[in-house]
Amino acid sequence: MIQITSQKTFHLSTEKTSYLFRALPCGKLEQLYYGRKIPACEEYTFLYDKHAAGYSNTTVYDKKDHLSLDHIRLDYSEFGKGDYRLPAMQVQAENGNFNCDFKFLDAKVTDTKPELAGLPSSYGASQTLTVIMEDKALCAQLHLFYTVFENCNVITRSARLINNGEKTIKIHSLMSMQIDLPAGDYTMISFDGAWIRERYQHERKLTAGECSIGSICGTSSNRHNPFFAIRKGDCNEQAGECWGINLVYSGNHIGRVEVAPHGMVRVQNGINPFEFEWALAPGQSFDAPESVLTYSHEGLNGMSRNMHAFVKEHIVRGEWKHKERPIVVNNWEATYFQFTEKKILAIAKEGARLGAELFVLDDGWFGKRDDATSSLGDWYPDLSKLPEGITGVAKKVEALGMKFGLWIEPEMVNHESRLYREHPDWLLGEPGRPQCHGRNQFVLDYSKPEVVKGIGDMIAKVLREAPVSYIKWDMNRSMSEVFSKGRDAAFQGEVFHRHMLGIYSLYERLITEFPDILFESCASGGARFDPGMLYYAPQTWTSDNTDAVERLRIQYGTSVV
């Protein structure tokens, strides 16, 4: 599945696709081909492009070969050596220099794939190619990972930057992947929207310049889903060429396409560089999230089949991977915050009579939560509503022949709460400035380990004491005032990403301790619908909009990937 020739050409093949690039004599990686499967050869000179460039304003990188990087399809790029397209990485040395020059050093093939520190990633791979690039002046290495999933025609990519020097390096951008497609007639397909109209399909004809989708909300968002596709020519549902690109990440992301002056098309995705700055100290490394690539010559439907197979078999995991999901009855619209145990059991009894298999107790079971203004963060049962706590009501629901589930929103806090009174420093926001809220909610700072542990301890206590079979994990507002109290200025550019790593670590803790629980992710409907979430929560709330007709477009867009 992965071939390395004597000319340092790399051929990654799946059941139906081939991905080829090579290390040029100067050390740069040239993208050769990503498309329909071709036979393995010892030489691939028939794929080589001419590199001649001899007119004004050309920057010559290698005098011997007269290379202009701006005219070459590159597999990964940086800025400073004459490639004026969007760089895949932007790093800054301690002396302020932004220019870097990574060159091929080595490559190896393994039957296992590397773990990405603190990040969700795919599993069950066939083989992984690791290409090692080095910038000697920067004293840094760049490891590029290419993992082959043969049966579903997917290749995943990621990048790791390692500081081998004695001075700190600042990362301003590190894209998860880059491919440069040859000049052609392309259309970008994205899935955009807002609350109650998530993932509507939109198409943009690619022409000169940049086209991008992304999020700076702190979530993958309902504005622009991380997935996008590139359709070539007259590709339709059943025939034609297309490429699908996704990102195993749930925070700020960007997917961008640039049509260069010479017609080549650069495609990248990764963490959104907006307000991102990461200090990479000597001896440290930084991992970009995993990017997911697939190619289909069988139209958009073929691309969808590839992505469906990949998510089902190599992202979703655990007890519920292949289980049929239970039929749910939820008390929210029936009671909102005003309920008693007697009312809850009456709803559960009627649900059981109608064939429901799982009763979910929604918002209002904790603290003194009688309306939306209080108690988020106080994850202990309200005994005035539930005299025997969650344990008592859960056992009574199970006695009806149903499983019991619980709603939580662990990333938020109300000012009117015990948690806020005890830990005002646990909230995001700069002291001395008024803070925005959404639904009377403020965002906890999950970049702080003590927040992850504190919230985790409260929720784990409830789950240990009660027979809970399902958790609906909600997240009902976008992030604002992203500032971590008590941290210095240099840390603030890391908060968005470290916050997301904190969310992932809490998920990992809970699913490890409670592997039988079905976790469903929800973010004000479908505002965090991405492979990163599906890695932890194998069920996702698609949208708060349940109108049958309006749901058609939402379901269609969601089903593409």
Over residues 276-297, the pLDDT tens digits come to 999 999 999 999 999 999 999 9
* 249 phi and psi angles, rounded to 5 deg: -160, 145
How far is 377 from 317, CA to CA, in rounded Å? 29
How far is 142 from 293, CA to CA, in rounded Å? 20
CB 107 within 8 A of CB 130: yes
* pLDDT at position 469 over 70: yes
pLDDT tens for residues 144-182?
Answer: 999 999 999 999 999 999 999 999 999 999 999 999 999
53 pLDDT tier (thresholds 50, 70, 90): low
How far is 530 from 263, CA to CA, in rounded Å? 31
Smallest CA-to-CA distance from 118 within 475, 444, 506 is with 506
User: Would you give the distance in Å from CA 281 to the centre of its chain?
Assistant: 25
Residue with tokens 């930084």: 286
How far is 305 from 312, CA to CA, in rounded Å? 11
Q: Pick left, alpha or beta for residue 511 (phi over 0 → left; psi -120 to 50 → alpha; otherwise beta).
A: alpha
The stretch 447-451 carries a mean pLDDT of 98
Q: What is the pLDDT of residue 54?
A: 61
Q: What is the pLDDT of residue 63?
A: 78
477 pLDDT tier (thresholds 50, 70, 90): very high
DSSP 262: T
Q: What is the pLDDT of residue 200?
A: 98
Give the C-alpha distances (Å, rounded to integers) separating 344 from 8, 374, 390, 462: 66, 21, 12, 18
Q: What is the pLDDT of residue 52?
A: 66
* 558 phi and psi angles, rounded to 5 deg: -65, -40
How far is 133 from 62, CA to CA, in rounded Å? 17
* pLDDT at position 56 over 80: no
Q: What is the pLDDT of residue 183?
A: 96
pLDDT tens for residues 306-341?
Answer: 999 999 999 999 999 999 999 999 999 999 999 999
pTM of the full structure: 0.97
What average pLDDT is seen over the chain? 97
The stretch 528-546 carries a mean pLDDT of 97
Residues sharing a CB contact under 8 Å with residue 70, sequence separation 6 or more, in sequence order: 53, 58, 59, 82, 83, 84, 85, 260, 262
How far is 519 from 548, CA to CA, in rounded Å? 25
DSSP one-letter string for 418-429? HHHHH-GGGB-S
CB 204 within 8 A of CB 187: yes
Give the C-alpha distances (Å, rounded to integers) separating 446 from 176, 219, 410, 443, 496: 23, 13, 10, 9, 9
How far is 123 from 373, CA to CA, in rounded Å? 42
**CA atoms within 13 A of residue 248's CA, in its CB half-sphere:** 29
pLDDT tens for residues 384-394?
Answer: 999 999 999 99
Residues sharing a CB contact under 8 Å with residue 308, sequence separation 6 or more, in sequence order: 561
Smallest CA-to-CA distance from 441 within 454, 451, 427 is with 427
* pLDDT at position 55 over 80: no
The stretch 512-533 carries a mean pLDDT of 97
How far is 203 from 403, CA to CA, in rounded Å? 43
353 pLDDT tier (thresholds 50, 70, 90): very high
* 404 phi and psi angles, rounded to 5 deg: -120, 135
Angle at 58 between CA 56 and CA 62, to 5 degrees: 140
Q: What is the pLDDT of residue 154?
A: 98
How far is 308 from 305, CA to CA, in rounded Å? 5
Q: How many CB atoms lie within 10 A of CB 256?
A: 19
How far is 536 from 527, CA to CA, in rounded Å? 16
* 416 phi and psi angles, rounded to 5 deg: -85, 80
Q: What is the pLDDT of residue 438?
A: 93
* 533 phi and psi angles, rounded to 5 deg: -70, -40
* 438 phi and psi angles, rounded to 5 deg: -130, 125
| Positive or negative: CA dihedral 114, 255, 496, 455 | negative
Is there a catalytic annotation at residue 544?
yes
257 pLDDT tier (thresholds 50, 70, 90): very high
How far is 252 from 239, CA to CA, in rounded Å? 33
58 pLDDT tier (thresholds 50, 70, 90): confident
Give the C-alpha distances (Å, rounded to integers) separating 170 from 81, 96, 136, 178, 278: 19, 9, 16, 21, 6
DSSP 129: E
Which residue of the set 62, 370, 371, 544 is catalytic?
544
CB 143 within 8 A of CB 132: yes
- Amino acid (one-letter) located at 320: W
464 pLDDT tier (thresholds 50, 70, 90): very high
Q: What is the pLDDT of residue 126?
A: 84
Residue with tokens 């958790």: 471
Which residue of the set 135, 287, 363, 474 is catalytic?
474
Burial of 398 by CB count in 10 Å (0-12 exposed, 13-18 middle, 19+ buried)?
middle
Smallest CA-to-CA distance from 499 within 219, 272, 304 is with 219
How far is 478 from 525, CA to CA, in rounded Å? 12
Smallest CA-to-CA distance from 133 within 112, 169, 159 is with 159
* pLDDT at position 425 over 80: yes
How far is 300 from 304, CA to CA, in rounded Å? 6
